[in-house]
Chains A and B, each alone.
Chain A
Amino acid sequence: MPLNYTMPELMVVAASREICDGDVVFVGMRLPLLAFQLAKETHAPNAVGLFESGVLRASPAPAPLFTMCDLPNLYQAIACTEMQDVMAFLQAGHVTLGFIGGAQIDRYGNLNTSYIGDAANPTTRLPGSGGAGDIAAHAGRLLIVMAHQRRRFVERVDYITSPGFGEGGNWRERVGLRGGGPSAVITTLGILRFQEESKEMYLVSYHPGVTVEEIKANTGWDLLVADDVCETPPPTAEELSILRRHDPQRFWTK
């Protein structure tokens, strides 16, 4: 019998599967908080999480988290360092995976979380970089979690807060960005990755109930699609049960 689950649950599960055992993860805020918890309790027991509050933790938090600074995230943390120390991990190249979100993204994974419209006279002022620009520059792999809408998946972002692959190809090497750049984009409709050579984004899977056509229609450029594009593997019963323990009120996953 197929399991019942929500789209945010599917996204969190997909995000958690991107965390490898032993990864040093710059977790940040929102859905990745939950993805890290889930990965720790399933396939990545040796992953370590870093938070810009200075917290380093190697065990799942014992109670649900809404923000990275919530009390359970400090309980039995390895250490409560400073933001400087967490930045040192990042800039010295010791963070293997970083999570960020975005209001806008382009085909090379460049992200905007700062301004909609012209920065000098914006339509909307967004919260800003936080650590996103720093994470995008330095993390070994970058994992992007965001809503999939045509106004967000755009030909050209209004402002580059966090560099992806720039103009594509070996751009990151050319300009001297040390981190590896985006590795996957997990959206409300599917999962996308980046081509080996061109670094252009392509669709690898569509979530159950979503069609490739629908995803293309919600993307502001002619989206490449993998030859073997398939349905996103659904959550397992174990994953769902762990996830729901960490989000009993369904704050994140309604």
Chain B
Amino acid sequence: MINKVTTLTEAVKLVREGDTLALGGMTLYRRPVAFVRELIRQGTGDLTLLAFTASFASDLLVGAGLVSRVRSCYFGMEAFGLAPMFTKLATAGEVKVIEETEASIAFGLRATLAGVGFMPGQGWLETDLLKVRPDVRLVDDPYSDRRYVAFPAIKPDVAVIHARLADPYGNAVLGGNLAVDWELTMSSDRVIITAERVVDKLEERADIVGLRVTAVVEAPGGAKPTSCYPDYPLDSAEILRYVETCAGGGFAEYLTEFTNNSD
């Protein structure tokens, strides 16, 4: 097995302009925030952001102007309200949104994992999703008279997953709230693991297998202010401070402070 340990600076260079970038974790949990900080510093833009449920880290990327398209089923701050920069820029049409639901993201990734172009599902029927996603077609069930939605395969270019523990080969322990992280590592061209700790040998079984991993970066506290079970909880005061700062027109100042932060 190959030692894949590198620095955050080098790992971020694996993301190229125009890539579909998937962020692991969900909403305000185990998001690769340290990676996002370095990505904003390097300024790699025109990204399609794939986030199963997008929140704080995604909002920073959108506000920093690096995201052209958002592919997500939810973009908000859960208990803490709307995601300020996404709401502003998506309402103004400055960021294009590729609408999804939880099931369509699950099915789209599953299609890639099955090596097929789509996965049929029962969701979306009788909603307005098919109007805003004219690219999505219906298919007839060859075994019955039913019709399904043919969810197109989703294939990210790069996935970044924050883990509790990783070994130098990219095997990683996530510790729960798995969301779609396994599917992201299996479907993306390049996979970056940032981890609270990189250890020589994992004592626990891995949630992510290193075969698919391109780079491993040790980033202690790398999910903060989002949570990382069981190491640290969500810093809800910081999330509130972000929302309130943006409400007062202070996103630019927040971003400067965020990118200057050495964590």
Contacts and interface: CB of A to CB of B under 8 A. Distances in A.
Interface of A: 29-30, 52-55, 66-71, 74, 77, 80-84, 87, 90-91, 114, 119, 121-134, 137-138, 159-163, 166, 175-178, 251-252
Contacts of A129: 73-74, 99-102, 129
A124 B123 contact: no
Given A30-B78, A71-B227, A91 B103 contact: yes
A130 B26 CA distance: 11
A69 B73 contact: no
Contacts, number: 171
B125 A137 contact: yes
B27 interface: yes
Contact of A70 (B52, B72, B83, B233): B233
Given A131-B103, A176-B146, A67 B234 contact: yes
Given A74-B176, A122-B91, A127 B126 contact: no
Contacts of A251: 79
A90 B52 CA distance: 17
Contacts of B122: 91, 137-138, 178
Nearest to A122: B91
Given A68-B27, A84-B106, A137-B125, 16 more contacts: A52-B102, A53-B29, A54-B179, A70-B234, A74-B176, A83-B26, A83-B179, A84-B183, A91-B121, A114-B128, A121-B93, A123-B91, A128-B97, A129-B101, A131-B73, A163-B127
B242 interface: no
Interface in B47-76: 52-53, 72-76
A83 B178 contact: yes
B127 A160 contact: yes
B121 to A, nearest CB: 7
A181 to B, nearest CB: 11
A44 B86 CA distance: 39
B236 A66 contact: yes
Given A128-B73, A133-B124, A29 B180 contact: no
Interface string B172-199: 0001111111110000000000000000
Instruction: Report, as a range, how many residues of chain B touch the other chain.
Output: 35 or more
A127 B91 CA distance: 11
B82 interface: yes
A163 B101 CA distance: 13
Interface in B112-170: 121-129, 131-132, 146-147
6 contacts: A30-B79, A53-B177, A71-B227, A124-B91, A128-B100, A159-B128
A152 B260 CA distance: 42
Contact of B103 (A30, A68, A87, A127): A87
B224 interface: no
A99 to B, nearest CB: 14
B127 A133 contact: yes
